[in-house]
Amino acid sequence: MANLNSDAFVFFGATGDLAYKQIFPALQAMIRHGRFDLPIIGVAKSSWTLDQLRARARESLEKHGGVDPAAFAVLSSKLQYVSGDYSSPETFRNLRKALGGASRPLYYLAIPPDLFATVAEGLASAGCDKNARVIVEKPFGRDLASAQSLNKTLRKSFPESSIFRIDHYLGKEPVQNLLYFRFANSFLEPIWNRNYVQSVQITMAESFGVQGRGLFYEEAGAIRDVVQNHMLEVVALLTMEAPAGKDTDCLRDEKQRAFRVMRPLSPADVVRGQFRGYRNEKGVAPDSQVETFAAVKLHVDTWRWAGVPFYIRAGKEMPVTATEVLVELKRPPQNVFDAITPSQANNFRFRLSPEVSISLVARAKKPGGAMAGEPVELVVRESPGEEMTPYERLLGDAIRGDAMLFVREDGVEAAWSVVDSILGNATPIHEYEPNTWGPAEAAQLIAPDGAWHNPAASDVDPESKK
C-alpha cells in the first residue's frame, strides 16, 4: 500500500468553501501539469445535481486562477457526485457504488472536525476504508486533549501511515527552501548554535483583518490559528538536527524531537492583543477576549539552543503583509575598530512572503580615513518561476503516499503541549490600533534582548542591492 498510488479521489464537503477556494484549483492545476488521472467523487449534504457541481467547479476556477479549457474538460469528465447525509448508511453505500473497481481510494475530509468520526464510521460500515488513505484539514483539535481525542478517532478506522494531516503552510516553496538552505550549505552548520546565535525572531504580519470570518476567528484566535501550527513548524525547521536518512520518517522524527524540546509556554512568555474594531465584526462577541495578535518568547531546551530566545509574533491589521525570520548573530567579542552594538551585529534574514529572499547582513568599512563601518546586506532573491501551489503539491504527495510534508500524530500533540497552558484567557488582552505593530506590551516582552525587527513592505531593493 505504501508504494502504490491511490486510484480514486473522494472529497467530502464538495460544495463547501475549502473545495471552492483550494481543491478545485489544485485539481485543475494537477491535470494541466499531467500529474492527475483519477476519478473524482464529490460528496456533500447538498441535494445538488452533477451539473450543479460542475458549474460550481467552473465558478471556483474563474475566481481562483482562471479556467484552462482543456484541463477543465478533463476535470469535468472525471467528476461524479454523491449527495446525502453523513450519518446515513445509504450515503456510503452510494459512495461504494461510485467507487466502482477502485481499491485504494484517497478521502479528503474537507468538513468540520466534529464530523470526522461520523464519516470514518460510515466509510468503515460500507467497506470503503480498506487500503484507503485519508486527508484531514487543520485545526487538528483545539487543545491537547481534543487533539488526542481526534487522533484516537481517526486511528479507529485508519492506521497512522494512512492519515495525512494537511497544513498548507508546509507545502509552500519558501518554507521548504528554509529546510533546504539549512542542510545543503556547509558554511551554516558551525555557527548555527548558541555560541554564535544571539536570538531569533519570527514575524507573520497581515495587513488585513478577519475578512468576514469573525465567527471562525472567535473559535480560533491567533495562537490556535497560526502560532501552534505554522510558526512552531518554522521553529522546528530552524532548530531540528539533520535527518539520519532521506526517508519520510527520518525527517519527521527530527521534527518531533524539535517539538518535544520546546519549553511549554507560561503566561509570562505571552502577550495577546486585539485590534480596535474587531468586536464590530459580524459573528464576534461584543466583549470578545479573542486575540488577533500574539507575541511569545519561546525556549528550545537542547545543547545546541539552550539560552537562545525565540521570539514569535503574529497579527492582523499590521502595517504590512509579510512573513520572515531574523536570526541575529552575536557581536564580536571585542571592538577592534568602531563600537558595534547588538543591533548592528550580523544577521541572517529569511523572507518567506510576499517575495522570497535570503540575506546576510555583514559590516564593511565606510569610505574615508576612519576605520568605521556600516551594515551591508548580501541578498539572494529567488526567481518566481512556475511553482506548484501548496495544495497541488500536497494532494500529489498524498496520492503517492508520501507523508514527508504532512504532520504526524505525535508532532501534533507535542505542538499543542507547547501552547496548551496559555490558551483561552490565561493572559489579558491588550487593544492596539489598526496599522500598527501590536500593543506596547509586545515591545516590553522582547526588551531584554533588543527590539522587534519590523519588516518593511519590501526590505529588498533589487536595484540598490544587486
CA 226, 227, 233, 238 dihedral sign is: positive
**What 3-state class would DSSP assign to 166?**
strand
Q: Give, in order, the Cα–Cα distances in Å from 221 to each of 291, 297, 419.
A: 5, 18, 13
Q: Which residues pair with 296 in a beta bridge?
A: 270, 312
Given a contact cutoff of 8 angstroms between Cβ atoms, the answer to whether 316 and 222 are in contact is: yes
Given a contact cutoff of 8 angstroms between Cβ atoms, the answer to whether 454 and 204 are in contact is: no
Do β-strands 357-365 and 40-44 pair in parallel, antiparallel, or remain unpaired? unpaired
| C-alpha closest to that of 107 among 4, 1, 9, 7 | 9
**What 3-state class would DSSP assign to 294?**
strand
Task: Verify cis geometry, omega within 30 degrees of 0, for the bond prior to 367.
Answer: no
Beta-carbon contacts of 428 under 8 Å, excluding residues fewer than 6 positions away, are 272
**Whether 230 is catalytic:** yes
Counting beta carbons within 10 angstroms of the beta carbon of residue 124, is it exposed (0 to 12), middle (13 to 18) or buried (19 or more)?
middle
State the DSSP code for 14: T
* Cell output for 121: 464510521
Question: Which one of 64, 168, 230, 299 is the catalytic residue?
Answer: 230
Q: Which helix (H) or strand (E) holds 410?
A: helix 409-419
> How many C-beta atoms lie closer than 10 Å to residue 332's C-beta?
12
Half-sphere exposure of 212 (CA within 13 A, CB side): 0
Q: Which residues pair with 271 in a beta bridge?
A: 295
| C-alpha closest to that of 199 among 292, 65, 334, 300 | 300
Do β-strands 40-44 and 8-12 pair in parallel, antiparallel, or remain unpaired? parallel
Active site residues: 230
